């Protein structure tokens, strides 16, 4: 049964179907597993600086957004295509794939890095899957329980080095699939969803008897880490998920996480990123607010910055300019909604 409230069309932005914001067009660029090569980072930085507002904006699905664009995104599409970031225009908005960000670098039961690209190719090879809603989400969890906690519509999660569980909407289906069959299993579940979805956008909107949740772990911790090969990497977070184009170019190869942080696989020189987990305000996020969004009742980013030094690092807080609460985190958090008494007290 479809969600009774689904009466408007799915309008998730992409590159060819941008969102018309107050500060210009907004384009969302899908990054399978959040992975960005050094060459792609250079292209994205150039697009942000020359075509947009000069920054890349991280999303809660491990993707990025460019803001302040011209309504004609032909030049943007051409640049992204040349960098391999738009491999299948018809499937552009459904290429939503999470993968454990540290997989193949540190920890985990299996390395899912190649599998997420295999999944992308398999989805794009099925014309019918272009009809998936833009909010439908795939995930590959290497066994540590990080992205399986994000309630993806379909997820394969490693249980050991050879076998994994198939999850729907974050819950165990009881189906066990070898790692070699993970991609086929996820594609099969996506095809099933198309058959039964009605007007639903997400699996959780269907009336299904689902199993229990498997234990999950929080997102990757901020700070340096030691790779399995002994080399050093670091996880950092740009303030309010916004990273200057020049800083992205300097970082080179990165993995964008669903928690608005960035894994830098090699080296500790990370301009534009907070890497101290005890930094006050580290858990604060915000929608774009005024002046970028005409619906916002406040400049929520300025208000968030004003209270950062007073908010301990362990406190998760999200500032929203209106009831849509765009970009709010999946995990429990303090809800700061502009126009409410609580918001006024919090930003005083």
**In this model, does residue 11 exceed pLDDT 80?**
no
CATH level 3 topology of 93-217: Sulfite Reductase Hemoprotein; domain 1 (3.30.413)
- Adjacency order of strands within the sheet including 154-158: 97-99, 138-141, 154-158, 163-168, 171-178
CB 117 within 8 A of CB 123: no
**In this model, does residue 8 exceed pLDDT 80?**
no
Cα–Cα dist 103/220, whole Å: 11
Cα–Cα dist 269/141, whole Å: 28
Q: What is the rounded average pLDDT for all residues in the chain?
A: 93
**251-255: long-range contacts at Cβ-Cβ below 8 A with a sequence spacing of 24 or more?**
251/41, 252/38, 252/41, 253/36, 253/37, 253/38, 253/41, 254/36, 254/41, 255/33, 255/34, 255/35, 255/36, 255/62, 255/101, 255/102
pLDDT, one tens digit per residue, over 157-206 is 999 999 999 999 999 999 999 999 999 999 999 999 999 999 999 999 99
The architecture CATH gives domain 1-86+221-276: Alpha-Beta Complex (3.90)
Confidence of residue 268 (pLDDT cuts 50, 70, 90): confident
CB 110 within 8 A of CB 161: yes
Percent of the chain at pLDDT exceeding 70: 97
Domain boundaries along the sequence of the chain: 1-86+221-276, 93-217, 284-347
Q: Which CA distances in Å does 176 have to 124, 154, 173, 188, 345?
A: 25, 13, 9, 14, 50
DSSP label of 157: E
Cα–Cα dist 123/128, whole Å: 9
- Burial label, 22 (beta-carbon count in 10 A; 0-12, 13-18, 19+): middle
Indicate if 93-217 has the same CATH topology as 1-86+221-276. Answer: no
Model pTM above 0.85: yes
Which pLDDT does position 269 carry in this prediction?
A: 86
3-state secondary structure of 335: strand
- Adjacency order of strands within the sheet including 35-36: 35-36, 254-256, 262-264, 232-236, 223-226
In which residue are the tokens 């398999």 written?
A: 122
pLDDT, one tens digit per residue, over 110-161 is 999 999 999 999 999 999 999 999 999 999 999 999 999 999 999 999 999 9
In which residue are the tokens 């609580």 written?
A: 342
Q: Which of 235-239, 248-252, 255-259, 338-342 has the lowest mean pLDDT?
A: 338-342
């Amino acid at each position: 049964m479809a969600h009774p409230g689904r009466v408007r069309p799915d309008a998730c932005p992409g590159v060819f179907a941008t969102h018309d914001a107050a500060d210009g067009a907004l384009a969302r660029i899908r990054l399978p597993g959040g992975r960005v090569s050094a060459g792609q980072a250079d292209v994205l930085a150039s697009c942000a600086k020359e075509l947009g507002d000069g920054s890349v904006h991280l999303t809660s699905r491990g993707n990025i957004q460019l803001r302040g664009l011209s309504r004609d995104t032909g030049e943007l599409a051409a640049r992204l295509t040349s960098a391999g970031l738009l491999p299948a225009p018809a499937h552009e908005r459904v290429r939503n794939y999470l993968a454990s960000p540290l997989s193949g670098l540190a920890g985990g039961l299996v390395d899912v890095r190649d599998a997420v690209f295999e999944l992308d190719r398999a989805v794009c090879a099925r014309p019918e899957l272009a009809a998936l809603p833009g909010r439908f989400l795939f995930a590959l969890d290497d066994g540590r329980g990080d992205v399986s906690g994000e309630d993806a519509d379909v997820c394969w999660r490693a249980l050991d080095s050879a076998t994994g569980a198939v999850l729907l909407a974050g819950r165990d289906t009881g189906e066990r699939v070898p790692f070699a069959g993970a991609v086929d299993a996820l594609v099969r579940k996506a095809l099933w969803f198309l058959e039964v979805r009605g007007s639903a956008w997400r699996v959780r909107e269907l009336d299904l008897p689902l199993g229990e949740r498997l234990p999950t772990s929080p997102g990757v911790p901020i700070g340096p880490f030691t790779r399995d090969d002994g080399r050093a990497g670091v996880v950092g977070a740009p303030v309010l998920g916004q990273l200057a184009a020049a800083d992205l170019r300097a970082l080179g190869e990165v993995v964008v996480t669903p928690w608005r942080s960035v894994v830098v696989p090699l080296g500790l020189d990370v301009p534009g990123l907070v890497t101290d987990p005890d930094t006050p305000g580290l858990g604060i996020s915000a929608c774009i607010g005024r002046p970028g969004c005409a619906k916002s009742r406040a400049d929520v980013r300025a208000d968030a910055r004003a209270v950062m030094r007073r908010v301990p690092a362990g406190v998760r807080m999200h500032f929203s300019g209106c009831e849509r609460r765009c970009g709010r985190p999946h995990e429990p958090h303090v809800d700061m909604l502009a126009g409410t008494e609580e918001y006024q007290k919090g930003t005083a």
